[in-house]
A and B are shown apart, each in its own frame.
Chain A
């Protein structure tokens, strides 16, 4: 039995260490992204982003202390209240929010801009964790599946109304946690299949896809000729696939806005786009990253990012600053730090004795994972450009606070993992 009390007892120091390393690297990087040699500014200058980020880091440290002081039980107990609160905030921001870059995603509090979507992830994760941990809930059952998906879909819908496709997309991360708890893998397979068909329709003319899937079905039927019973399901799948092809085509032409479609197409067919217009962001991001070379141009020596060629470089495209100034080595270091952090979170999740703790741990890991994946993938041209921050690196208080809270709530729960065992 470990001893009780003590603010830091049972604290997972590896995660704390990784957290502060990443936050510090992020801070330096933000300074590099706004650094202007003509101005006589230091990294602490409150007039520039790095100074503000330092304030956010200070505030985050206070948040950490507060989280460590608060009873760990409130997260499970008050999860529905947190959730309802965040849904109200999400609804409210559509009415009272400040519109920036065409999206009503922020409450302007004067000294600080609050982005409720960042906190809704946390609340949703807690609510689902509580539901999954409820006795008698089996994720293999259809009823439970619906009950878990509804709390995810509500915030996604509200965020999509802002509109902020990137933030909405992050909620998909919770599927990973659900999968760990028994949510059928077939749904993930189906989702991936639809995504594949979607991409194929952009690459290849529809007609070929119909012909290809029909021929594929024919081959399968010929192969399984003796098992007549299975021919019908194969034909069924064929019909579904064709329907999906038709539907994605419809979505592409009628639902997606042209700029959204072009952001997807540009990944697949970059040569078709004018690097001065639609292709600008991606092209400039790739130039900045690509010109970094093996070892980079050196801290504060990046030219593409410094001279404003990469848009949104202190927020969504912050990775390009890192890649330009520190090269492949710098990128590899940061990617490895993230990998270690995420795998460590999975490890922590797995050592939880409660389903609540484990599910929440996986939610944190997968939310980090989704941010990390989509953000870096979009800067190097593997994913369409959607505005989604890189944890600890993109500047901004809401994002940093949300990741800090998410992570340290998990650490707090983890500190008391043996107490949970005692009680149950």
Chain B
């Protein structure tokens, strides 16, 4: 009987062996997840961040570059600090911060490295470097932050920051990973794809302690990072710096355009912020600070502020009327005072004189010719037909729509249409008599400083403009690819432009004598943008100009808020910038323009709300 037990025992042996063979077959051959888990164990994917592209001005001067920074990494298991106080002193942290950071690192992993301190500056790192060996378990990870050669152009170049969850969701190409940096505003955002470069990846074999043990498949799958492409901007750094210098301490904006190309030579919006502080370690605090600032430093006035255009809009009226043929350049109109308040005297006016004197009543009459043509059966229908044409013509000058500058946030301004007045008064219930304030740039009109500068460029070009832009070329490996921009025509002809330019040239001498410069003929137009803000007594000073009048190289718009009439602050600023750009330096004139602008002398003797 007991002999049978021999077979039971042998059978038990064999069964166990078979169970093992089957279980192992299931583990090793059938189940593929362990292969994947094994790779995940040993392969550490290291991202090599590319250098973000640089930005240069039109003369290849550096504007934005990268500066090395260091993250202090920690492997909690290897940490031996010894003197914690010395450590905290060296890194300038409190012991509480030390404990908190260490705990966070431990929570992540005790054997894998995690960030202990972020963004240690180059200078601080130099100081720390020599002492780092005293503390086990720490090492530094270099990365870069954006740096700016001058504390200017902040809103134009924009800033970068960590990608938001929204960005990640929008990222259809699956390029970004949490913690990556992305352009958030300005050129950093618009040219993100050019600037960011191509991330590199290397796969390393690591042991259980995270120590590198060679390359995965000898690096066959690794890719090197490609640095981002550089931007060649249209900015003239010298001009920009000077413009920022003149606008310091004010509120307003400057836009200067090269008329022949649409290239923006300078773009200022003040108050602004220091781009160097909105980068690196101080980013978070500084961002909160400027976001809460009531002067809105993050608001790019040059493209986002919308003002009633005021007198500068008279040039547009004249151009539309001339192109339409309702007036000719030589045609003289007899102007009576009475319809509108006016600084200009009554008398015979041709278009040049109308602009020179900025005659309100002259332009009232000109626009009337455009609106009430006698084509409709009554004045309401007539006005309606006229305004339809007028709106269309005005929009050709780039008003009422955003111009399409290569940074985000541009406002479109406002050009009223028949619908606007239908809504306000009811269809068939309004005529020119109700909308004539448009003739002098008041009423429902709104424009941005960029649109005004673009208008100056249109006149300088005698009837066309090129989409204004901030980047002219993309540089890769020393080769610059020029970007192309669209050319827009604003009317049918250009034969009437000399009259307008003549009027603008004379207007500078008449209404903005402080702006006149010897040897450089400036064609300009002053304006006053009504200030609707409560508690602010002065209007905004507006000046638009181009120079030299014969062969324009620069078109400019200057807005100085709360500075009264256009012939004061803004005209002087524009004059200085024109001279700076064309001549390279500033010659003394009878009037110390720089001191006048810098020291805000234009405020002396200002009457409250002057209209000219």
- Interface residues of chain A, those whose CB is within 8 Å of chain B, are 37-38, 176, 179-182, 185, 284, 286-294, 303-304, 306-309, 323, 327-328, 331-332, 335-336, 338-339, 342-343, 346, 350, 362, 365-366, 369, 372-373, 376-377, 380, 382
CB closest residue in chain A, given B6: A350
Closest 6 CB pairs of A and B: A290-B34, A291-B38, A307-B207, A308-B208, A339-B17, A328-B28
Q: Given the complex of chains A and B, what is the CA–CA distance between A288 and B25 in angstroms?
A: 14
CB proximity of A419 to chain B, nearest CB, Å: 24
Q: Given the complex of chains A and B, what is the CA–CA distance between A376 and B24 in angstroms?
A: 10
Q: Given the complex of chains A and B, what is the CA–CA distance between A176 and B205 in angstroms?
A: 47
| B90 in the interface (beta carbon within 8 A) | no
Residues of B within 8 A of A179 (CB): 5, 9
Q: Given the complex of chains A and B, what is the CA–CA distance between A292 and B37 in angstroms?
A: 12
Contact of B208 among A286, A293, A307 (CB under 8 A): A307
Q: Given the complex of chains A and B, what is the CA–CA distance between A79 and B17 in angstroms?
A: 32
CB closest residue in chain B, given A366: B9
In the complex the two chains form, is B16's CB within 8 Å of A369's CB? yes
| B59 in the interface (beta carbon within 8 A) | no
Residues of A within 8 A of B6 (CB): 180, 346, 350
Contact of B27 among A289, A309, A366, A377 (CB under 8 A): A289
| B193 in the interface (beta carbon within 8 A) | no
User: How many residues on chain B are close to A (CB under 8 Å)?
Assistant: 35
On whether A291 and B29 interact (CB within 8 A), knowing A332-B21, A335-B17, the answer reads: no
In the complex the two chains form, is B16's CB within 8 Å of A373's CB? yes
| B209 in the interface (beta carbon within 8 A) | yes
- Interface residues of chain B, those whose CB is within 8 Å of chain A, are 2, 5-6, 9-10, 12-14, 16-17, 19-21, 23-25, 27-29, 31, 33-35, 37-39, 41-42, 205-209, 213-214
In the complex the two chains form, is A346's CB within 8 Å of B25's CB? no
Residues of A within 8 A of B213 (CB): 38, 306-307
Q: Given the complex of chains A and B, what is the CA–CA distance between A185 and B12 in angstroms?
A: 14
Contact of A287 among B13, B19, B29, B38 (CB under 8 A): B38
Residues of A within 8 A of B34 (CB): 286-287, 289-291
In the complex the two chains form, is B17's CB within 8 Å of A327's CB? no
Contact of B35 among A290, A323, A343, A365 (CB under 8 A): A290
Q: Could you write out 19 A-B pairs with CB less than 8 Å apart? A: A179-B5, A287-B37, A287-B41, A290-B37, A291-B39, A304-B42, A306-B207, A307-B42, A307-B206, A307-B207, A307-B213, A331-B20, A339-B13, A339-B17, A350-B6, A369-B12, A377-B20, A380-B23, A380-B24
Residues of A within 8 A of B5 (CB): 179-180, 185
Q: Given the complex of chains A and B, what is the CA–CA distance between A338 and B18 in angstroms?
A: 12
Q: Given the complex of chains A and B, what is the CA–CA distance between A292 and B27 in angstroms?
A: 9
On whether A303 and B205 interact (CB within 8 A), knowing A346-B10, A380-B23, the answer reads: yes
CB proximity of A188 to chain B, nearest CB, Å: 10
- Where chain A touches its partner, the secondary structure class is helix
On whether A304 and B24 interact (CB within 8 A), knowing A179-B9, A339-B13, A346-B6, the answer reads: no
Contact of A309 among B16, B21, B41 (CB under 8 A): B41
In the complex the two chains form, is B38's CB within 8 Å of A304's CB? yes
Residues of A within 8 A of B28 (CB): 289-290, 292-294, 323, 327-328, 331
In the complex the two chains form, is A328's CB within 8 Å of B29's CB? yes
Give me 6 other A-B pairs in contact (C-beta within 8 A), A291-B39, A304-B41 excluded: A290-B37, A291-B35, A328-B24, A331-B20, A362-B9, A376-B20
CB proximity of B481 to chain A, nearest CB, Å: 46
On whether A308 and B207 interact (CB within 8 A), knowing A293-B35, A328-B24, A380-B20, the answer reads: yes
Q: Given the complex of chains A and B, what is the CA–CA distance between A66 and B33 in angstroms?
A: 50
Chain A CB count within 10 A is highest, among B16, B28, B31, B205, for B28
CB proximity of A36 to chain B, nearest CB, Å: 9
Residues of B within 8 A of A373 (CB): 16
On whether A290 and B27 interact (CB within 8 A), knowing A179-B9, A346-B10, the answer reads: yes
CB proximity of B32 to chain A, nearest CB, Å: 9
On whether A380 and B27 interact (CB within 8 A), knowing A179-B5, A293-B35, A303-B42, the answer reads: yes
Q: Given the complex of chains A and B, what is the CA–CA distance between A323 and B21 in angstroms?
A: 12
Q: Given the complex of chains A and B, what is the CA–CA distance between A332 and B17 in angstroms?
A: 9
Residues of B within 8 A of A290 (CB): 27-28, 31, 33-35, 37-38
Residues of B within 8 A of A284 (CB): 41
Residues of B within 8 A of A366 (CB): 9
Residues of B within 8 A of A308 (CB): 207-209
In the complex the two chains form, is B17's CB within 8 Å of A181's CB? no
Q: Given the complex of chains A and B, what is the CA–CA distance between A289 and B28 in angstroms?
A: 7
CB proximity of B219 to chain A, nearest CB, Å: 16
Residues of B within 8 A of A336 (CB): 17
Residues of B within 8 A of A286 (CB): 27, 34
CB proximity of B9 to chain A, nearest CB, Å: 6
In the complex the two chains form, is A342's CB within 8 Å of B13's CB? yes
Residues of A within 8 A of B10 (CB): 343, 346
CB proximity of A35 to chain B, nearest CB, Å: 12
Residues of A within 8 A of B37 (CB): 287, 290-291
Q: Given the complex of chains A and B, what is the CA–CA distance between A332 and B206 in angstroms?
A: 30
CB closest residue in chain B, given A307: B207
Residues of A within 8 A of B21 (CB): 331-332, 335
